[in-house]
Chains A and B, each alone.
Chain A
Amino acid sequence: MWHKSNIVSYRHFRTGRRGLLIGGLQLGFCGLLAWRMHHLQIEKAESFRLVADENRINLRLVPNQRGEIYDRNGVKLAGNEASYSVTMVAEDAGDIDVIFERLSKLINLSPEDIERSKAELERSAKFLPVTITDRLEREDIEKIHANAPMLPGINPEIAFSRTYPLGEIFAHVVGYVGPVSSRDLEIREDPDPLLKIPRFQIGKVGVERELEATLRGKAGTKKVEVNALGRVMRELERKEGSKGANLKLTLDTNLQAYVRARLGTESASAVVLDCKTGEILAICSSPTYDPNKFVRGISFDDYGALRDDNHRPLASKTVQDAYPPGSTFKMVTILAALEAGIINHREKIRCNGHIEVSNRKFHCWKRDGHGNVDLVKSLRESCDVYYYELAQKVGIEKIAEVARILGLGQSFDIEMSAVTSGIVPDKIWKQKARSREWVVGDTVNSSIGQGYVLSSPLQLAVMIARIATGNEILPKLIKSVNGVEKEKIPDQINLNENNLNLIRKALFEVTNHKRGTAYHSRVLDKKSQIIGKSGTSQVRNISAVERTQGVLDNKDLPWGQRDHALFVNYAPYDDPKIAVSIVVEHGGSGSTVAAPIARDITLQAIYQGTPPITAYPVEDRARIYDQQRDLKKLMPKTTKSSKVQA
């Protein structure tokens, strides 16, 4: 019996009313939830889906191969060498110790390798590959492939690293690559995203640097799906990159190697140009360094040794250093005088060993003087007073003009690092650079390539090539890019051909007249006779006191104060093919130190190999024979296999 029925119905009423209210509230809230679902899932769907894809899709770069560099004959100067490595993924490997044991039976693993990689496996995420060793041979990789089922988690990998098969011979020209530094990124306005890949390498010096964009090519990309921890789940899309362009340089490996060997341990530079085209056949700075060391990361000690060497192996002296050209500048002064018409070649000037200009004594190198000197004799015997007199009449502006026509005082557009423009001084230059008036003494100093005049070995080579051909020779280092060659026929220079001929004749006597300063460096063979001019440029002032007590001989001076020895020449006389410039820093006399080097290199270039011994004067042959034998030992053997058509 339900005896409190009236009360029950009252209770029921209460519960029912409030129950309905609560129920209604619940359903209302469900309505709110449904609205919210609609808002998030339908109205905002597009933007959220985009974010979700951003979440999961990563764009990864696939590095491409760098372009290779070849010499003019297809000898590889810079290539990409496959380097083999193995990596281990901890989560796939299972028992790491067992895998290491099996692996060390197959390939050579040092205890350090094992220890280091175990520590690294411990540290990094389980799904990330850890490199165990990267010094493997192809056979090792094949062994690992054959035993793959036994080695879970082990993956052989191939990477490409830059190598310079000829090592130090081309160090300053080709340069080297190295890891991208923060500065490298700073100096670029919109750096290629490739540069941000860890351990990515870019050209640091030389052609590698100057033609970086051409050599680098375009990176491929792949889209991968990653999870929240950054683990790659799958590849969605892949776009292959394109290999960097292959370069063919104008250089000739055989000649370059010979030049490198011939310069030996001297702090010297040599430039060999093809007179007709301006192609650089050899350009060598000595001493040099092994660019491969920089690619792998040079040790602190090795770098310190290179940096502190007073012969400056790191400097690319052929283009970045400028020296007082000394007597090799005399052709400029005399051409200026001839062009200005203030002298003819028969006119004689008397040399007493010195002249006085505005109360200052200017000495000729020959203290007793040359007597009466005409144009030919002035070059042949390198009389200084003759030029002192000429320069005062011609004035610096005309000299500077001719110097520029001959290629001095300008930096050529060639693909090497830090190409200097040297200095061709004139009145405006001095006012700007030194804030002082030009004085006659400056003109006198400049006339023999001293004072403010500075030129790089490359400029000197261009100068002698222009004198030899009368054409506006421009140096050229890149023969072709991906097989495409750009040829440019040089214009004539704005100098009178007759005047140039007078110079050529005089220069012929420098090496082929008994009284010529470089007579002992003559060549007997008509088709390779060299025509050149020596220069010995002072790097210190000789005081009046010193002169009266007797000028110190170079041998008695510390190395850094000795004269620079220079020589510029072309060959042969009738149909110039080769132009050479040699600078031996603090080498002493140009005619005795630089000229023999220039002769050897010129002959090597003309004969495209070891010249016949009969080309040399009889008295030198025994010595040259020994020298040729010794140098051959120093030259690398460029094997046929490394010859690939670029």
Chain B
Amino acid sequence: MSYLEYRVKTVPSGWKKVIFINWGLIALIIGAACSGFAMLYSVGGSWEPWALAHIQRFSVGLFVMFIIAMTPIWIWRNISVPIYIVALLLLLLVEFLGNTGMGAQRWINLGFINLQPSEVAKVALVMLMAAYYDWLPTDKVSKPLWVLVPIIFISVPVLLVLQQPDLGTSILLLLSGVTLMFLAGVHWIYFGTVIALTGGFVVALFKSRGTDWQLLQDYQFLRIDTFLDPDKDPLGAGYHITQSKIALGSGGWTGRGFMEGTQSRLNFLPEKHTDFIFTTIAEEFGFIGTISILAIYVGIIIFCLHSALRHKERFASLLSLGLTVTFFLFFAVNMSMVMGLAPVVGVPLPLISYGGSAMLVLMGAFGLIQSAHVHRPRGNI
């Protein structure tokens, strides 16, 4: 298959494309980003040091999203393999000359931005998987050999990210990859087997603790322990979860008010501007605030799903669905983490947390979803 097979006539072209952009989705994205500006202003105490930079990055992100959205979707499909390879190379690069932050090698300093290759890998993996299943005839999807190929696609970046070590991102990569396989129609049997194997692996994981072949770093085990029983060590390892739950809980219905959150302002919360920014929202705007943020996210997901399910084209459909899942995993894991439903794994809250690469990559992903939306073949134009 090649892009020539598209019925070019029915796809919008030129400046007409702008009309077909999913403006509702953009409104929701801007809404979420604005909450991010407000919260970063609150935890920073002023526009410095975070809020202003966040606005600048979001603006760049919006621009990037438009460029990507305007680029025909088949171009993206055709360059997904090179993008994937570039992402892998970046991951390898970060192994050797990355900057260390919070005990892990995650960034490459590109001068204007600290690039996190693991963020790029999230989108690249989804693109490659979508392209792969677009290329693969449907009757071969469940053949063991053709199942093995995407497993390799997934495993390489997952292992590289795990090496950094960044457990959160690698789990996110794994989940979005596997979800794509599921969406592409791989047989149920495989998933049943994987779930069973995962169960076995988890058991092995805990068994490995304290032995020579320990599979996780000590701090990762500690985080799991803390997650399972945060009260065991409220000032030590359980500090994050305990303090974050306190901040959440003390918000009540309407919160303490803008810039009145004591937990974040008095530094009881670590990483209040990145991974734990949700607690500040909870503390200052209460249940109303958090449920609104959740509503915005749900809105984004519904818009994306709606768009994805209307695609007749396999690449566009799988790409949109996969990226939606990636976005969902972002906020679901982050919220679960701060609310004590999941261990602390270091995943930011999309669009709201402070962070350059995550913001750019996320906006790029929305650009891809928009591109798929814009370039959907339509009956009358």
Q: A10-B138, A227-B266 are in contact. Are A36 and B341 (CB under 8 A)?
A: yes
The answer to whether B250 and A19 touch across the interface, beta carbons within 8 angstroms, is no
Given contacts A41-B287, A52-B262, A227-B267, list 19 more A-B pairs with CB under 8 A: A2-B7, A15-B309, A22-B321, A23-B301, A33-B332, A33-B335, A33-B336, A33-B341, A37-B291, A40-B340, A41-B252, A45-B253, A47-B249, A48-B246, A51-B246, A55-B268, A56-B263, A226-B266, A233-B266
Q: Which of B27-35, B55-63, B97-105, B312-320 contacts A (4 or more CB under 8 A)?
A: B312-320
Mask: chain A, 10-38; 1 = CB below 8 Å from B; 0 = not? 11101110111011001101101110111
Mask: chain A, 223-257; 1 = CB below 8 Å from B; 0 = not? 00111110001000000000000000000000000
- Residues of chain A within 8 A (CB-CB) of B125 are none
Q: A18-B185, A19-B305 are in contact. Are A55 and B263 (CB under 8 A)?
A: yes
Mask: chain A, 30-74; 1 = CB below 8 Å from B; 0 = not? 101110111011101101110111011000000000000000000
The answer to whether A27 and B266 touch across the interface, beta carbons within 8 angstroms, is no
The answer to whether B246 and A15 touch across the interface, beta carbons within 8 angstroms, is no
- Residues of chain A within 8 A (CB-CB) of B317 are 12, 15, 19
Q: Which of A611-642 contact B (CB under 8 A)?
A: none
User: Does A119 have its Cβ within 8 Å of any Cβ on chain B?
Assistant: no
Contact of A48 among B7, B250, B253, B318 (CB under 8 A): B250
Contact of B179 among A2, A22, A51, A52 (CB under 8 A): A22
Q: Which of A197-243 contact B (CB under 8 A)?
A: 225-229, 233
Contact of B339 among A37, A48, A51, A55 (CB under 8 A): A37
The answer to whether B183 and A15 touch across the interface, beta carbons within 8 angstroms, is yes
- A residues contacting B by CB (< 8 A) are 1-3, 7-12, 14-16, 18-20, 22-23, 26-27, 29-30, 32-34, 36-38, 40-42, 44-45, 47-49, 51-53, 55-56, 225-229, 233
The CA-CA distance from A9 to B317 in the complex, in Å, is 13
The answer to whether B290 and A41 touch across the interface, beta carbons within 8 angstroms, is yes
Q: Measured between C-beta atoms, what is the minimum distance from B245 to chain A in Å?
A: 6
The CA-CA distance from A27 to B331 in the complex, in Å, is 12
Contact of B318 among A15, A32, A225, A227 (CB under 8 A): A15
Interface residues contributed by chain B, number (CB under 8 Å): 54
The answer to whether A15 and B249 touch across the interface, beta carbons within 8 angstroms, is no
Q: Measured between C-beta atoms, what is the minimum distance from B212 to chain A in Å?
A: 38
Q: Which of B224-263 contact A (CB under 8 A)?
A: 243, 245-253, 262-263
User: Does B204 have its Cβ within 8 Å of any Cβ on chain A?
Assistant: no
The answer to whether B262 and A14 touch across the interface, beta carbons within 8 angstroms, is no
Q: Measured between C-beta atoms, what is the minimum distance from B248 to chain A in Å?
A: 5
- Residues of chain A within 8 A (CB-CB) of B266 are 55-56, 225-228, 233
Name the CB-closest residue of B to A39: B339
The answer to whether A228 and B267 touch across the interface, beta carbons within 8 angstroms, is yes
The answer to whether A30 and B287 touch across the interface, beta carbons within 8 angstroms, is no
Q: List 10 tightest A-B contacts by C-beta distance, closest first.
A: A48-B249, A227-B266, A52-B250, A49-B250, A45-B252, A228-B267, A41-B287, A23-B305, A14-B185, A228-B268
Name the CB-closest residue of A to B263: A52
- Residues of chain B within 8 A (CB-CB) of A23 are 301, 305, 309, 324
The answer to whether A229 and B332 touch across the interface, beta carbons within 8 angstroms, is no
Can you list 30 pairs linking A and B with CB atoms under 8 Å apart? Answer: A2-B7, A3-B5, A8-B314, A11-B314, A12-B311, A14-B138, A15-B184, A15-B309, A16-B309, A19-B309, A22-B182, A23-B301, A26-B324, A27-B301, A30-B294, A33-B335, A33-B336, A33-B341, A40-B340, A41-B248, A41-B287, A41-B290, A45-B251, A52-B250, A53-B250, A55-B263, A56-B268, A227-B265, A227-B266, A227-B268
Q: A27-B298, A41-B287 are in contact. Are A225 and B325 (CB under 8 A)?
A: no
- Residues of chain A within 8 A (CB-CB) of B341 are 32-33, 36
Name the CB-closest residue of A to B269: A228
User: Does B308 have its Cβ within 8 Å of any Cβ on chain A?
Assistant: yes
Name the CB-closest residue of B to A38: B287
Q: Which of B291-345 contact A (CB under 8 A)?
A: 291, 294, 297-298, 301-302, 305, 308-309, 311-314, 317-318, 321, 324-325, 328, 332, 335-336, 339-341
Most buried by A among B185, B266, B298, B325: B266
The answer to whether A52 and B246 touch across the interface, beta carbons within 8 angstroms, is yes
- Residues of chain A within 8 A (CB-CB) of B250 are 45, 48-49, 51-53
The answer to whether A40 and B5 touch across the interface, beta carbons within 8 angstroms, is no
Contact of B138 among A2, A11, A33 (CB under 8 A): A11
User: Does B117 have its Cβ within 8 Å of any Cβ on chain A?
Assistant: no
Q: A30-B298, A38-B287, A41-B249 are in contact. Are A19 and B263 (CB under 8 A)?
A: no
User: Does B364 have its Cβ within 8 Å of any Cβ on chain A?
Assistant: no
Name the CB-closest residue of B to A49: B250
Q: Measured between C-beta atoms, what is the minimum distance from A39 to chain B in Å?
A: 9
The answer to whether B179 and A49 touch across the interface, beta carbons within 8 angstroms, is no
Name the CB-closest residue of B to A13: B185
The answer to whether B267 and A33 touch across the interface, beta carbons within 8 angstroms, is no
The answer to whether B332 and A37 touch across the interface, beta carbons within 8 angstroms, is no
- Residues of chain A within 8 A (CB-CB) of B83 are none
Name the CB-closest residue of A to B179: A22
- Residues of chain B within 8 A (CB-CB) of A14 are 138, 185
- Residues of chain A within 8 A (CB-CB) of B298 are 27, 30
The answer to whether A19 and B183 touch across the interface, beta carbons within 8 angstroms, is yes
User: Does B286 have its Cβ within 8 Å of any Cβ on chain A?
Assistant: yes
Q: Measured between C-beta atoms, what is the minimum distance from A21 to chain B in Å?
A: 8
Q: Measured between C-beta atoms, what is the minimum distance from B166 to chain A in Å?
A: 22
Name the CB-closest residue of B to A37: B290
The answer to whether B248 and A40 touch across the interface, beta carbons within 8 angstroms, is yes
The answer to whether B138 and A40 touch across the interface, beta carbons within 8 angstroms, is no
User: Does B369 have its Cβ within 8 Å of any Cβ on chain A?
Assistant: no
The CA-CA distance from A38 to B288 in the complex, in Å, is 10
The CA-CA distance from A55 to B261 in the complex, in Å, is 12
The answer to whether B185 and A15 touch across the interface, beta carbons within 8 angstroms, is yes
Q: Measured between C-beta atoms, what is the minimum distance from A49 to chain B in Å?
A: 4
Name the CB-closest residue of B to A30: B298
Name the CB-closest residue of B to A43: B249
Q: Measured between C-beta atoms, what is the minimum distance from B259 to chain A in Å?
A: 13
The CA-CA distance from A83 to B245 in the complex, in Å, is 47
- Residues of chain B within 8 A (CB-CB) of A2 are 5, 7
The CA-CA distance from A40 to B282 in the complex, in Å, is 10
- Residues of chain A within 8 A (CB-CB) of B246 are 48, 51-52, 55
- Residues of chain B within 8 A (CB-CB) of A37 are 248, 282, 287, 290-291, 294, 339
Contact of B182 among A10, A18, A48, A226 (CB under 8 A): A18
The answer to whether A40 and B339 touch across the interface, beta carbons within 8 angstroms, is yes
- Residues of chain A within 8 A (CB-CB) of B335 are 33
The answer to whether B267 and A8 touch across the interface, beta carbons within 8 angstroms, is no
- Residues of chain B within 8 A (CB-CB) of A3 are 5
The answer to whether A26 and B294 touch across the interface, beta carbons within 8 angstroms, is no
The CA-CA distance from A202 to B15 in the complex, in Å, is 86
- Residues of chain B within 8 A (CB-CB) of A41 are 248-249, 251-253, 282, 286-287, 290
The answer to whether A33 and B339 touch across the interface, beta carbons within 8 angstroms, is yes
- Residues of chain A within 8 A (CB-CB) of B325 are 22, 26
The CA-CA distance from A53 to B311 in the complex, in Å, is 53
The CA-CA distance from A102 to B247 in the complex, in Å, is 45
The answer to whether A26 and B268 touch across the interface, beta carbons within 8 angstroms, is no
The CA-CA distance from A484 to B182 in the complex, in Å, is 91
Q: Measured between C-beta atoms, what is the minimum distance from B177 to chain A in Å?
A: 13
The answer to whether A34 and B294 touch across the interface, beta carbons within 8 angstroms, is yes
Name the CB-closest residue of B to A27: B298
- Residues of chain B within 8 A (CB-CB) of A53 are 250, 262
Q: Measured between C-beta atoms, what is the minimum distance from B290 to chain A in Å?
A: 5
Name the CB-closest residue of B to A7: B138
Contact of B321 among A11, A19, A44, A229 (CB under 8 A): A19
- Residues of chain B within 8 A (CB-CB) of A49 are 249-250, 252
The CA-CA distance from A11 to B184 in the complex, in Å, is 9
Q: Measured between C-beta atoms, what is the minimum distance from A232 to chain B in Å?
A: 11
The CA-CA distance from A82 to B19 in the complex, in Å, is 80
The CA-CA distance from A424 to B246 in the complex, in Å, is 69
- Residues of chain A within 8 A (CB-CB) of B305 are 19, 23, 26
Contact of A26 among B184, B245, B328 (CB under 8 A): B328
The answer to whether A29 and B287 touch across the interface, beta carbons within 8 angstroms, is no
Name the CB-closest residue of A to B308: A19
